[in-house]
Chain A
Amino acid sequence: MGSITLEGVRKSFGEHVIIPGADLQIEDGAFVVFVGPSGCGKTTLLRMIAGLEDVSGGRILIDGVNVVNVPPAKRGLSMVFQSYALYPHMSVRGNIAFGLKMAGLPRAEISRKVEAAAATLNLTTYLDRKPRELSGGQRQRVAIGRAIVREPKAFLFDEPLSNLDAALRVQMRQEVTRLQRELKTTAIYVTHDQVEAMTMADRIVVLNAGRIEQYGSPLELYERPANLFVAGFIGSPRMNLIGGVAAERHGATTIGVRPEHIIVGRGGEGWRGTVRAAEHLGSDTFVYVDAPEIGSVTARYIGELVIDVGDSVKFHPDPVHVHRFDKDGKAVR
């Protein structure tokens, strides 16, 4: 079991408020990703759940028990750090076994569990090596091994893949997701990478300046952003946000249109603009258009669109996929 509930959790350093009050309900077995720009408080929130950071107010419930005054080790959680934080003087075996040793398990049982964790993570041949003799990906697997061997109520991941190169990151992403599915253990994963968030999460928490802007499944966030921040943050390239007369026509202060919902053509209806840049990826064509009426717009065309810089184009949004926002930036449904 591992359901985690936050009730009005606050964090401030003196006058400086980091998290004004967070409420969140994480179901047992869910993979939840905290995503947001740097400095949004996502790591602080994770560290408060871990117990590494004191809470200024509110309650954190793990399986219904308030753990605010419980030390990290007694919360039954395990954490994977961005820097891996392996014990450099211990072998891989020592690193994975450390938590079990601290818990006072019998030696035979420790050894059995370590072997099992190592087998799951393909680390069996490296058990007697020191962390410095391992590659980045292997170190990361040791850090994960250290987390799973304790059979925690939940895993906490603090940007664990950000030190890996791009190819390895994709591979580890899949590995972490697979592992979490197999173990059916609740996981909270902090990242600033929205691709990681979209691909790994059952549910995403979007944070901005310490506030939870939206909590929902990846597609929910993509298709029905609750406000301008989420609309602009989720999705790459960013959603086009258009104000002024064009928005008023839709009965909103701002409208948002995803690049794939901008229809570009040589003629026809819509706004007039000039192509500032065009990226031909083969599978997609990204067209950056400067339009005098509404500013610059990004359009995505599936497939190859024959177009050049300086070309004059007409474009319009797919009316079914226009997101409307009021003057406070909230979505109008």
Chain B
Amino acid sequence: MARRISPARRAATTIAAWVVGLVIFFPILWMGITSFKTELEAFSTPPSFLLFHWTTENYATVEERSNYLLHALNSIIIAGGSTLIAMMIAIPAAWSMAFAPTKWTRDILLWILSTKMMPAVGVLVPIYLIFRDAGLLDTRVGLVSILCLGNLPIVVWMLFTYFKEIPKDILEAARMDGATVGRELVYVLMPMAIPGIASTLLLNVILAWNEAFWTLNLSTHDAAPLTVFIASYSSPEGLFWAKLSAASTLAIAPMLILGWFSQRQLVRGLTFGAVK
């Protein structure tokens, strides 16, 4: 029997949900608003919320002063490339751990994750030196490979948990039907795991897009993604909140749009297996 909810209670929960939603969204909203303020209004106290002189001059300045398109292209190549390569390695890896486990599988999974337990700064110097000697500093190849390696543990873990939800019988049926391992992956496993694969893909694109530690330390201009573009507005001439906000808004806009259109996939993937 469905529970009966009183109108008052429904209103209260609706308001509460909106409040929580707005609190979570507030930083992004505030950034967006600030990007349309003048520098003076941007750090005035008390801050004005909507009643200020709206201006797009920050965007014009940012566009004039730096090459947004170059950085955006770098971000797309680095985030997309590192995620795609990670998926190509992780799908077979997760398949073998989920469907052909050995007694070491659990340990390997933990060991994979252990690399994420080490702070990145701990290996900054060796990685930097390796990149310098290999001529990878400020190259897209270098950033793609470091972000791919950095996110690989998460990709493998996420895919492993999704694959675990798929009944083994179905893969065995495919094997009886004459599918080779490769065809089993392409025709049976991947279509069934689409929600999981999609959300892993999206989450990792977002993680790679926003990754700042390695991108800031290993690139300067040629391969610099949008994170470096934002950072360039934060320090040299003091803090310019309005321009920084405009740069940030420009940097996250593609992700916001992508996230908005794929929210169904994201939510489905993140709750995959909860409801059969």
Contacts and interface: CB of A to CB of B under 8 A. Distances in A.
Interface of A: 50, 52, 71-74, 77-79, 81-83, 85-89, 98-99, 102-103, 146, 150
A50 B176 contact: yes
Contacts of B167: 83, 85
Contact of B170 (A50, A52, A73, A87): A87
Contacts of A88: 170, 192
Nearest to B179: A102
A180 to B, nearest CB: 18
Contacts of B192: 87-89
Contact of B173 (A74, A77, A81, A103): A81
Contacts, number: 58
Contacts of A73: 175-180
A81 B167 CA distance: 12
Contacts of B183: 102
Nearest to A99: B177
Contact of B177 (A82, A89, A146): A146
A91 to B, nearest CB: 12
16 contacts: A71-B175, A72-B176, A73-B176, A73-B177, A78-B177, A79-B176, A83-B167, A87-B173, A87-B188, A87-B192, A88-B170, A88-B192, A89-B192, A98-B179, A99-B178, A146-B173
A103 B183 CA distance: 12
Interface of B: 167, 169-170, 172-180, 183, 187-188, 191-192
Contacts of B180: 73
Contacts of B172: 52, 72, 79, 81, 85
A85 B173 contact: yes
A81 B170 CA distance: 9
Contacts of A86: 170, 173
Which interface residue of B174, B180, B191, B192 has the most chain A CB atoms within 10 A? B174
A178 B73 CA distance: 65
B186 to A, nearest CB: 11
